[in-house]
Amino acid sequence: MISSVLVANRGEIARRVFRTARSLGLSTVAVYSTADAAAPFVDEADAAVHLPGNAPGETYLRAEPIVEAALRAGADAVHPGYGFLSENAAFAQAVLDAGLTWVGPPVDAISSMGSKIESKKLMAAAGVPVLAELTPAEVSAADLPVLVKASAGGGGRGMRVVSRLEDLAGEIEAASAEALSAFGDGTVFCERYLAAGRHIEVQIMADQHGTIWAVGERECSIQRRHQKVVEEAPSPLVERIPAMRPLLFDAARKAAAAINYVGAGTVEFLADESGEFYFLEMNTRLQVEHPVTEETTGLDLVELQFAVAAGDRLPPEPPPTVGHAIEVRLYAEDPQHDWQPQTGVLHRFEVDSSVRVDSGVADGSVVSPYYDAMLAKVIAYGTDRSTVARRLAGVLDRAAIHGVRTNRELLAWVLRHPAFLAGETDTAFFDTHGVGEPADERAVRLAALAAALADAAGRRTGLPSGWRNLASQPQRKSYRVGETTYDVEYRLTRDGLVVDGDIRLLASSPTRVVLEVDGVRRVFEVAAYDGLVCVGPISLTPVPRFVDPATRVAAGSLVAPMPGTVIRVGVAVGEVVKQGQPLLWVEAMKMEHVIAAPADGVVGALHVEAGQQVEVGAVLAVVGEDV
Partner 1 sequence: MMSNREAMLEKLAVLDTEYAKALAGGGEKYVARHHQRGKLLARERIELLIDPDSAFLELSPLAGWGSDFTVGASLVTGIGVVEGVECLITANDPTVKGGASNPWTLRKALRSDEIARANRLPVISLVESGGADLPTQKEIFIPGGAMFRNLTRLSAEGIPTIALVFGNSTAGGAYIPGMSDYVVMVDGGAKVFLAGPPLVKMATGEDADDESLGGAAMHARKSGLADYFAVDEQDAIRLGRQIVSRLNWRKAGPAPASAYAEPRYDADELLDIVPGDLKVPFDPRDVIERVVDGSVFDEFKPLYGSSLATGWASVHGYPVGILANARGVLFSEESQKAAQFIQLANRSNTPLIFLHNTTGYMVGQEYEQGGIIKHGAQMINAVANSKVPHVSILMGASYGAGHYGMCGRAFDPRFLFAWPSAKSAVMGPQQLAGVLSIVARAAASAKGMPYDEDGDAKMRAYVEGQIEAESLPTFLSGRLYDDGVIDPRDTRTVLGICLSAIHSAPVEGTSSFGVFRM
> Residue numbers of the site for partner 1 (CB under 8 A)?
455-456, 459-470, 472-473, 475-477, 492, 494, 545-549
Contacts of 56 (CB under 8 A, 6+ apart): 84, 182, 370, 371
Any idea what DSSP says for residue 83?
A: S
Report in angstroms how near the CB of residue 623 gets to partner 1 at its nearest. Answer: 24
**Strands of the sheet with 613-614, listed across from one edge:** 591-596, 582-588, 564-569, 613-614
Smallest separation, CB 481 to partner 1 (Å): 20
Distance of CA 275 to the CA centre of its chain: 28
Sheet holding 198-206, edge to edge: 277-283, 263-271, 198-206, 212-224, 227-233, 324-331, 374-382, 356-359
In the bound complex, what is the minimum distance in angstroms from residue 548's beta carbon to partner 1? 7
**Calpha distance 421→428 (Å, rounded):** 16
What pairing do the DSSP bridges indicate for beta strands 365-367 and 344-346?
Answer: antiparallel
Q: Provide, rounded to whole angstroms, the least separation between the CB of residue 526 and partner 1.
A: 15
State how far the Cα of 27 lies from the Cα of 4, in Å rounded to an integer. Answer: 5
Bridge partners (DSSP) of residue 279 are 130, 269
Residue 443 beta carbon to partner 1: minimum distance, rounded to whole angstroms: 24
The phi-psi region of residue 376 (left if phi > 0; otherwise alpha if psi is between -120 and 50; otherwise beta) is beta
Alpha helices (H) in 155-278, listed in sequence order: 168-183, 236-240, 244-258
Pairing of strands 324-331, 227-233: antiparallel
Contact call for residues 30 and 17 (beta carbons, < 8 A)? no
Nearer to partner 1, 317 or 552 (CB): 552
At its nearest, how many Å lie between partner 1 and the CB of residue 456? 4
Whole-number Å distance between alpha carbons of 49 and 69: 6
Distance between CA 180 and CA 492 in Å, rounded? 61
User: Nearer to partner 1 by C-beta: 531 or 611?
Assistant: 531
Which is closer to partner 1, CB of 491 or CB of 504? 491
3 state DSSP class of 65: helix
CB nearer to partner 1: give 367 or 533. Answer: 533
75-97 burial string, b = 16+ CB within 10 Å, else e? bbbbbbbbbbbbbbbebbbbbee
Nearest distance, CB of residue 449 and partner 1, angstroms: 14
Helix or strand (DSSP H, E) at 432: helix 429-433
Report d(CA 394, CA 377) in Å as an integer. Answer: 15
Residue 416, by phi and psi: left (phi above 0), alpha (psi -120 to 50) or beta? Answer: alpha
CB of 499 to partner 1, least distance (A): 14
Q: Residue 254 in contact with residue 248, Cβ under 8 Å? A: no
Q: Least distance in Å: CB of 474 to partner 1?
A: 9
Question: Regarding beta strands 212-224 and 227-233, do their DSSP bridges make them parallel or antiparallel, or are they unpaired?
Answer: antiparallel
- Nearer Cβ to partner 1, position 467 or 531? 467
For residues 93 and 66, is the Cβ–Cβ distance under 8 A? no
Q: How far apart are CA 213 and CA 76, in angstroms?
A: 27
Counting every residue written for the chain, the total comes to: 627
Least gap, CB of 459 to partner 1 (angstroms): 5
Task: Tell me the closest approach of the beta carbon of residue 627 to partner 1, in angstroms.
Answer: 25
Write down the least CB distance from residue 86 to partner 1, Å. Answer: 52
- What sign results for the dihedral spanned by CA atoms 37, 42, 43, 49? negative
Read off the amino acid at residue 350.
E
Residue nearer to partner 1 on the CB measure, 460 or 512: 460
Beta carbon of residue 476, minimum distance to partner 1 (angstroms, whole number): 8
For partner 1, the closer of residues 204 and 540 by Cβ is 540
Query: E strand or H helix at 222, and its extent?
Result: strand 212-224
Least Å from the CB of residue 507 to partner 1: 16
With respect to partner 1, which residue has the nearer C-beta, 353 or 472?
472
Q: Nearer to partner 1 by C-beta: 280 or 449?
A: 449
